Structure 1
Amino acid sequence: MIKETFDEVNDKFLSSVVKRLEIIECNIFHQTKEIESLHCQITSKDKELQDLKTKLNDSEKRTAEILNEHEQYSRRNNFSPQ
């Protein structure tokens, strides 16, 4: 009788522990998937940021070239021989 009661309590306890472990495993799985997704998003955003930096750098260079050309053109037109 005592052994049967002990075995029954033990089975219920083990069942509870197993259920909790399954819940924890499920949570870990979902968190792992979320982390992988976030890593992909970070990689994508890093690439997007690098592309935007490159475009900005190219735009700044082109703007500097245009300003330089404009300045040289203005100097040529303002040149007056003495």
Structure 2
Amino acid sequence: MNGEVDSYRGTYDYSGFETGLKYSEMSSTAQANLILGMKEYVCNMSTSFADDWWADIMTNIDDTYFVWINDSGATPTTTSEFCYRI
């Protein structure tokens, strides 16, 4: 990026995360659920920014990854702590 700061990533170093599951390799149900999850965040923004961001997301959707992170390493449950990255 030639020293430029990515407006979406900022300067955070994401290199420690696993690659995750690629959208284009998900089942149609998983793809639909990921879209719904992303819309939860994007639709909470101001309309003009949300529309631009959503257009960018959909342009690059096939190269989008979903990563589930569980610090304990155990299989996640409905009560375990977790985070995810899209």
Shorter-chain TM-score range: under 0.3
TM-score (norm: length of structure 2)? 0.22
The structure with the greater share of residues assigned to helix is 1
How high is the TM-score relative to the length of structure 1? Answer: 0.23
Point out the structure with max Rg over C-alpha: 1
Question: Which of the two has greater strand per residue?
Answer: 2
